[in-house]
């Protein structure tokens, strides 16, 4: 079975808000701080289940960075003057650094973060930065996908070998000897899409190989999950939700209206999670097997895989 979900990318009233990006003024500083702390407070609450008393442990970024680079600090402002997002950028000689970047929760998934990053990159170009950098949270595929869209690499070439070992460990836990290395390498090498990693600390606990339209297996106008898996030792549906959210954000950033995923209904927990998330069946196929059957497959495995 394959399933699809639509991705509207609009606000709760179905409207696209009128947003303008401008540089931060002195009178904005307190509001910018509040927006950043509110947005990241929501993020940490979603990640940890509790809201921190002090976001960033009480560290203050806005005033210092505005004093250092007033031309590198930007806000996203709604038509009525409400500040709904902010991005801070500084220059260290030829090195440009971005962050924090924040958009209020109710205004996310509407390209506001992308508009803020575009403004920051314009600032870097004006100042002839030869290297741009950003630090983000490894357990947030949504943030990683946003920065990857702007050309920031989240994985150095030298680290790929170690990551692939962790990916192989995940697939080997699903079916002994299963190895997706070639799938990952071909998607990366031919720019067919991307492989998303879900990390916890220094460990990879899940991944998704995603094809985008072009010369890949993705249907026209859709992002397509070729293979997705969560470590069998980390069978929490929240991890599957996180990877699916990252795929959906990737599709939205590419202005695609659909995400297509495969689901083997033997993986019943994964199937139920898709239905809960709003996916619906597209067409049904039968999976047939020959050979050794009594291996590691388990109904609670969080796996989306296409055998066609």
CA distance linking residue 272 with residue 257, whole number of Å = 22
DSSP helix/strand/coil, 28 = helix
Q: Per-residue pLDDT tens for 49-62?
A: 888 888 877 777 89
- Contact between 248 and 277 (Cβ < 8 Å): no
Note the pTM of the prediction, 2 decimals: 0.58
Q: Quick one: pLDDT at residue 308?
A: 77
Which is nearest to 253 in space by CA: 149, 134, 152, 141?
149
Which alpha helices (H) appear in 62-174, and where do they start and end?
62-68, 112-126, 141-149, 160-174
Q: Quick one: pLDDT at residue 99?
A: 83
Phi, psi (rounded to 5 degrees) for 158: -65, -20
- Contact between 99 and 88 (Cβ < 8 Å): yes
Q: Quick one: pLDDT at residue 293?
A: 61
Q: Quick one: pLDDT at residue 183?
A: 87
Q: Quick one: pLDDT at residue 158?
A: 58
Q: Quick one: pLDDT at residue 157?
A: 58
Q: Quick one: pLDDT at residue 116?
A: 93
- Contact between 76 and 23 (Cβ < 8 Å): no
What is the CA 136 to chain-centroid distance, rounded? 11
- Contact between 173 and 231 (Cβ < 8 Å): yes
- The low-confidence residues of the chain, meaning pLDDT below 50, are 1-11
């Amino acid at each position: 079975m394959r399933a699809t979900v639509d991705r509207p990318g609009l606000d709760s009233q179905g409207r696209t808000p009128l947003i303008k990006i401008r540089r931060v003024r002195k009178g904005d500083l307190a509001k910018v701080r509040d927006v950043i702390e509110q947005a990241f407070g929501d993020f940490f609450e979603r990640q940890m289940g509790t809201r921190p008393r002090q976001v960033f442990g009480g560290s203050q970024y806005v005033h210092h960075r505005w004093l250092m680079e007033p031309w590198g600090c930007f806000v996203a402002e709604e038509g009525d003057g409400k500040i709904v997002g902010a991005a801070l950028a500084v220059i260290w000689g030829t090195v440009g650094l971005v962050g924090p970047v924040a958009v209020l929760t109710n205004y996310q998934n509407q390209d506001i973060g992308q508009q803020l990053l575009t403004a920051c990159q314009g600032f870097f170009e004006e100042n002839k930065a030869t290297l741009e950098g950003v630090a983000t949270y490894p357990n947030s595929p949504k943030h990683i996908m946003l920065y990857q869209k702007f050309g920031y690499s989240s994985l150095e070439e030298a680290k790929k070998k170690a990551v692939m070992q962790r990916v192989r460990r995940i697939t080997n836990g699903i079916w002994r000897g299963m190895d997706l290395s070639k799938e990952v390498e071909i998607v990366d090498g031919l720019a067919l899409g991307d492989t998303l990693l879900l990390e916890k600390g220094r460990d990879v606990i899940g991944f998704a190989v995603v094809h985008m339209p072009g010369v890949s297996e993705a249907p026209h106008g859709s992002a397509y999950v070729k293979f997705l898996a969560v470590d069998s030792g980390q069978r929490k549906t929240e991890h599957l939700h996180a990877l699916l959210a990252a795929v959906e954000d990737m599709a939205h950033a590419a202005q695609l209206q659909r995400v297509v995923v495969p689901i083997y209904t033997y993986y019943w927990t994964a199937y139920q999670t898709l239905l809960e998330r709003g996916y619906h069946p597209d067409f049904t196929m039968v999976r047939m097997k020959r050979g050794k059957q009594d291996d590691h497959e388990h109904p609670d495995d969080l796996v989306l895989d296409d055998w066609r």
